[in-house]
Structure 1
Amino acid sequence: MKNLLILCCLLVGSTLLYAQQERPNIVFLFADDAGYADFGFQGSSTMKTPNLDKLAKRGVLFRQAYVSHPTCGPSRAGILTGKYQQRFGFEENNVPGFMSEVSASDGDEMGLPLEEKTVGDYLKSIGYRTGYFGKWHQGGADRFHPTKRGFDEFYGFRGGARAYYPYERTPREAQNRLERNFGEFKEHEGYLTDVLGDETARFIERHKNQPFFAFLAFNAVHSPMDANPDDMAQFPQLEGNRKKVAAMTLAMDRACGVVLDKLEELGLAENTIVVFSNDNGGPSNVNASSNYPLSGVKSTYLEGGIRVPFLLSWPSRIKAGTEYDHPISTLDLLPTFFAAGGGEPGKVTDTDGVNLIPYLTGENFGRPHQRLFWKRDVRAVVRDGDWKLIRFGDRPAELYYLPDDESELNNLAAAQPARVRELFNLLFEWEMTLERPRWLLKREYELKDVERRIKYRDQVKLFSEERQ
């Protein structure tokens, strides 16, 4: 009887261990301000991204992936919570930084509300070891710190932008000091993009025997344009910021390669979900990124501001070398990761994202989203099926049918007045579910976005020579 009891205990223990080992590890590689077109897997013949191109061949390339906001901070808030950030008042812009002239809370007091549950919280609740590396941008006060928002380990900076080489003196923006875990401030050695890749690989090494979630949030290729001279030498045909952004993209791809190689080395690649994406459209006016063939740039609601590159690889479950054409959102990451990790679907509450895995395995052939929404102040967008309405503050609304016009050059609003009214109503109904913004921008910044939209409305033409 005693021997039978021991045998049962061993069987139960081995079954639990097997189940734990079968749970996928999760790695999220996240770029900052990258251009939609600036990757080999997106068709660029200029950029050098061999590691991400290899990842694309191992997984799924999404042709219509969207962020929930065309600027850094709100986009991240949506990803972390899995729901439209406007629902908890994170609508207007980044928390604090160069645009932190606000009408409500100020400075460090702005941040992701504490009552919001993050993807880190969800994954920790089902036994994952969680690590966050790089740019946080969700509040500088201690109570907003990643280690208090669901992440066991942190290496990065709390703010929105910093130099890529070590500071000799404390930076003017204290949030941009490099920090390990909580309150351990010390500058790195070398080029920050490489350092973040190395730190993430070490996290994977430390936790190779348990399920882990590594969120690698690069500040590349956000300004300042601190390119590595050796990387710039790889692009003798380019000049100015175009040369620098190419070099910074190469460095980011190299850092991604360090992480991907570590997974291979440890035998973890087959059962690891790896996602690569970007926080918003490329700001061509700042870093010379290309969003071809999309019109618009960062901070605008044209496709070039909100549509992003997106890869997902899970070799043991998802067929390699495929493409997915239906619209998806970065809001989908939280429910997808939680479900893949074995979490009960009912435990993810009050989110706007969906679990993408059934759509990628052929269990569900429908559209993950019939409608997607975007909003900042008066400007707002609804995409219903393949129709997209953009509401402006300074001109009549515009309507586009995206399957025939992804560059948004043929405004159909005058020809489709009934559809315009219908989409206006959908947008208004959604807006009635939102909270008022917790902070507001000065009006001059809204004017800057209008000017940017006008100047870069047809930026699709600016990079066409590279594609010929």
Structure 2
Amino acid sequence: MQSSRQPYRRRLIERRMSSFRTNAVLLAGSILLCLTRHAGAATPNIVVIMADDLGYADVGFQGCEDIPTPHLDQLAADGARFSNDYVTGCTCGPSRAGFITGKVQSTFGYYVDPDQPLNPKQGLPPGIKSVAQHIQCQGYVTGGVGKWHMGTAPHQHPNALGYADWFGFLGGGSMYPPLDHPSYGGHFRSNPRTWSIRDTHHTLPMLHNSKAVEWRKHLTRELTDAGIRFIEKNSRHPFFLFVAYNAPHENLAAPAEAIAQHLPNSVSAVPGVPPKSRQAYAAMVDELDLGVGRLIETLEELELSDNTIIWFLSDHGGMKRTSDNRPLREAKGDAYEGGLRVPLVIRWPTRVTPGAVLEHPVTSLDIGATSLALAGGDLNRAGLHGSDITAYITGESTDAPHDVIYWHTGKSPSDQTGAMREGSFKLVLTAGEVELFDLDSDPAESKNLVSHEPRRTRRMVMQWTNWNKANRPPLWRRSGVQDHQFAGYEWLKGTPHYQQASED
């Protein structure tokens, strides 16, 4: 409908808002506060919305002209955007492992995407805690929607890691139409051949907690509906909600009516991206934007907006064959800026200045640390690696939240591959080969300064090498062999992946 495509602020004005409740009034009498909270502090709801493979320049507030994103643009206008936000990994699994646990994933051995989602040795290790668990301990209701990618064993299930209510899929992706869609020709219901890595990931069932559920809509719309249900159900309690959209990750698929609005000759020419791929990708970003608008509209209808913090980001840079990361160098899978720097927005009414641009480097780990601090938690006790950036985002401090940021983007500590940012300078290591860039003057990382800055280069290499000593051996290594295509989990019954566990 046309009205659903209008920016939510316009609809909000049309509906009115006769009065605004203060945070204290919203909380009074309805929330059991944690004993560790600071006296008099409000307890905000927290919503984190994560896109998958979204290009750095593929939203309007980052300068995109061929894909309309009115709801995301309004979110940025009502809040603040970060010009130097980084994630902890340049591929899906490692980046999400960092965000979900609040720890740099190489410190517990998570280096690569699981290539065998039903292999219990791949994914998060036993005993690790999530940010959601820490926030849950502060009296929050915790919920998650969408992509998991942290493993499928019982100890890796979202419910076991602090998400009291989970609706989504445990693999690294999912097909966008339901698996019985006529276009698949029955392929995903009974495949007699060996499953590919992608097909194994993308055909695991949709779960509500531990039970498989049927779904009928395009995936982005289903996930939005689930997020709305969680908000409506828990509107009287402080909540933490992680909405992990699969869009615009491949496979590229969007509703026909969405694709029709993005003709191949109307999308921008992006080097290396076929127009038809860009058309489907644009429609998927459009669907993502509509979903974000519906989530925000729900918060407004329930009069929760003033007391809800919304974060929006991507899990890493966009893919070369679909996305636009310009002016950044390279894409998903790279330690250059195009793989690690992502759009980030925060909206926090009454606390964050609308339209502000925050230029100091921050990381996705800071989202979890800040959220836990605002919930009343103790960051030192939780052992999170991010920083509480509340003072920075509210303008109470202009100090940089980080002196140095480190990454390991290789496959093990012995693989000297990663990056380090200190001030405006960024060191990039590729199997021991060294590059140095000044991002203030060269955000495209086009001029290697190693020969011009030999002393700085040597010092930074030594710092990165010393930091790397604390990184753990890999939890697993990719084998390229698909020998974990079946499992005996109850939630797999009715799928081609279910196989009764043997007695011995």
8 A contact 2:175–2:202 mirrored in 1: no
TM superposition shift of 1:170: 4.2
Does residue 213 in structure 1 map to residue 232 in structure 2? no
SS of the aligned residue for 2:159 comes to helix
C-alpha spacing 1:178/1:257, structure 2 compared with 1 (3 Å) = farther
Aligned to 2:277: 241
8 A contact 2:31–2:238 mirrored in 1: no
Instruction: Give 1:184's aligned amino acid.
Output: K
Does residue 361 in structure 1 map to residue 381 in structure 2? no
TM superposition shift of 1:400: 0.2
8 A contact 1:33–1:220 mirrored in 2: yes
TM superposition shift of 1:158: 0.2
Q: Output the CA distance in 1 between the equivalents of 2:252 and 2:78.
A: 31
Aligned to 1:103: none
CA offsets per residue over residues 330-376 of structure 1, 9 Å max, x none? Answer: 01111110111222344332x22001111122332211111111111
CA offsets per residue over residues 138-194 of structure 1, 9 Å max, x none? Answer: 001122100110000111100001210001254852774333333311331110101
Aligned to 1:340: 374
Aligned to 1:457: none
Matches within 5 A, 1:116-135: 116-135=128-147
Does residue 386 in structure 1 map to residue 424 in structure 2? yes
Aligned to 1:449: none
SS of the aligned residue for 1:309 comes to strand
Q: Output the CA distance in 1 between the equivalents of 2:138 and 2:60.
A: 36
CA offsets per residue over residues 55-110 of structure 1, 9 Å max, x none? Answer: 0011110000000010000100110111110000012x11235xx8xxxxx82321
TM superposition shift of 1:226: 1.0
Does residue 276 in structure 1 map to residue 276 in structure 2? no
Residue of 445, 466, 473 corresponding to 1:408:
445
Aligned to 1:201: 228
Q: Output the CA distance in 1 between the equivalents of 2:453 and 2:480.
A: 32
Q: Output the CA distance in 2 between the equivalents of 1:250 and 1:332.
A: 28
Aligned to 2:99: 79
Aligned to 2:43: 23
Instruction: Give 2:331's aligned amino acid.
Output: V
C-alpha spacing 1:174/1:409, structure 2 compared with 1 (3 Å) = closer
Aligned to 2:403: 370
Matches within 5 A, 1:49-60: 49-60=69-80
Does residue 312 in structure 1 map to residue 346 in structure 2? yes
8 A contact 2:54–2:318 mirrored in 1: yes
Aligned to 2:491: none
SS of the aligned residue for 1:388 comes to strand
Aligned to 2:217: 190
Instruction: Count the aligned residue pairs.
Output: 419
Aligned to 1:166: 178
Residue of 115, 136, 146 corresponding to 1:96:
115
TM superposition shift of 1:441: 3.6
C-alpha spacing 1:293/1:262, structure 2 compared with 1 (3 Å) = same
Q: Which moved more, 1:252-261 or 1:384-393?
A: 384-393
Instruction: Give 2:127's aligned amino acid.
Output: E
Q: Output the CA distance in 2 between the equivalents of 1:24 and 1:413.
A: 46
Aligned to 1:396: 433
Q: Output the CA distance in 2 between the equivalents of 1:167 and 1:425.
A: 51
Q: Output the CA distance in 2 between the equivalents of 1:391 and 1:198.
A: 43
Q: TM-score, normalised by structure 1?
A: 0.86
Aligned to 1:432: 469
Q: Output the CA distance in 2 between the equivalents of 1:15 and 1:29.
A: 27
8 A contact 2:115–2:478 mirrored in 1: no
C-alpha spacing 1:408/1:282, structure 2 compared with 1 (3 Å) = same
**% identical equivalent positions:** 36
Q: Output the CA distance in 1 between the equivalents of 2:161 and 2:377.
A: 19
Q: Which moved more, 1:266-275 or 1:166-175?
A: 166-175
Residue of 45, 51, 56 corresponding to 2:65:
45
TM superposition shift of 1:114: 2.4
Instruction: Give 2:398's aligned amino acid.
Output: F
Q: Output the CA distance in 2 between the equivalents of 1:41 and 1:347.
A: 37
Q: Output the CA distance in 1 between the equivalents of 2:416 and 2:337.
A: 18
Residue of 298, 314, 337 corresponding to 1:262:
298
Q: Which moved more, 1:312-321 or 1:254-263?
A: 312-321
C-alpha spacing 1:153/1:17, structure 2 compared with 1 (3 Å) = closer
C-alpha spacing 1:232/1:72, structure 2 compared with 1 (3 Å) = same
SS of the aligned residue for 1:109 comes to coil
C-alpha spacing 1:416/1:116, structure 2 compared with 1 (3 Å) = same
TM superposition shift of 1:16: 6.0
8 A contact 1:67–1:279 mirrored in 2: yes
8 A contact 1:158–1:176 mirrored in 2: no
C-alpha spacing 1:182/1:396, structure 2 compared with 1 (3 Å) = closer
Residue of 451, 455, 458 corresponding to 1:418:
455
C-alpha spacing 1:174/1:412, structure 2 compared with 1 (3 Å) = closer
8 A contact 1:335–1:348 mirrored in 2: no
The CA RMSD measured in Å over matched residues stands at: 2.0
8 A contact 1:32–1:221 mirrored in 2: yes
Q: Output the CA distance in 2 between the equivalents of 1:193 and 1:116.
A: 30
C-alpha spacing 1:404/1:273, structure 2 compared with 1 (3 Å) = same
TM superposition shift of 1:416: 1.3
Aligned to 1:111: 123
SS of the aligned residue for 1:64 comes to strand
CA offsets per residue over residues 368-411 of structure 1, 9 Å max, x none? Answer: 11111111133111111111111112x73111000000001111
Aligned to 1:143: 155
Aligned to 2:82: 62
